[in-house]
Amino acid sequence: MTPPLTSSAGYSPDSDPAAGSGGTTAGAVSHRPPLRVAVVGVGAIGGAVIEALEQGRVPGARLGAVLRSSSAPEEVTAAIDAADVVVEASTVDAADDLIPRVTATGTDVVVCSCGVFARHDDPRERLAGGPGAGRVLVPAGAIGGLDVLAAAARAGTADASVRHYTIKRPAALDVDEQLTDRREVFRGSARQAALEFPRTSNASVALALATLGLDRTEVIVVADPHVGRTRHVVEWESPVGRYELQFENAVDPDSGGRTSAITAWSVAEVLSALASGAGPGVVVLAGGRPVEGPEPSP
């Protein structure tokens, strides 16, 4: 799924035949130039986002640069400086370094490795402060319904509870034992889940940031040798209502069973929403408070 890497730090929408007249695609706002997107990471998520951008499948956005771990420091700096938005689709360690660097330039960064926030007491600790700093945008990824859950959390969190079940193949959870039946391999907070399963807990972290925070969001991880797809079940209860959301996602074949195929398209939807100035719910962390959802608690 990952396309060949090209040197694209000097990308210009004017040189892209897919941009069409005025550099826009159907569905984009015609008076706005396309967003220049720098993608960091070329794995299952990054590769699919790169491919979608190159094929013109993200209205209002264009690929500006592709960066990987071997990119030279000057190439990284040039790509960030030229970008309107940066997509992090690499590792938790890379995200930890990238977030302050990008937000300090006033540029927004879409963080896929959002388990990085479990390392910090306050999710906003890694953001650059001060006027004009960029924001962190956390895509919903493998789950949905964050808009209604964030609204429910805004209505009140004192008597609220939220629980996230994740059911995956044993290999995706690094369970080496040959299981014959499903087994619960983790139960704890979203923070603990992200620290123990950093590559498979991003949906739990996004849910936590949108609702009750990393320490009040309960996560149950189940290894099931019989599942062919990844299942997510989200349960919310509070005085404002009771909700149960279920998702069954095809697995990206390039991810070793760890990543849902929908995740990259969640990132694409965020980019398209940024380009048009409006769109579906997304968790946004800024220097003050999130744009959507309550103040995240540690």
- The residues annotated as belonging to the active site are 232
Show Cβ contacts of residue 33 under 8 Å, excluding neighbours closer than 6 positions: 13, 23
C-alpha 94/C-alpha 192 separation (Å) is 20
C-alpha 294/C-alpha 297 separation (Å) is 9
C-alpha 77/C-alpha 82 separation (Å) is 9
Show Cβ contacts of residue 137 under 8 Å, excluding neighbours closer than 6 positions: 108, 109, 110, 111, 270, 274, 282, 283, 284, 285
Helix (H, G, I), strand (E, B) or coil at 110: strand
Alpha-carbon distances, residue 32 vs 27, 133, 137, 164, 298 (angstroms): 12, 22, 21, 39, 38
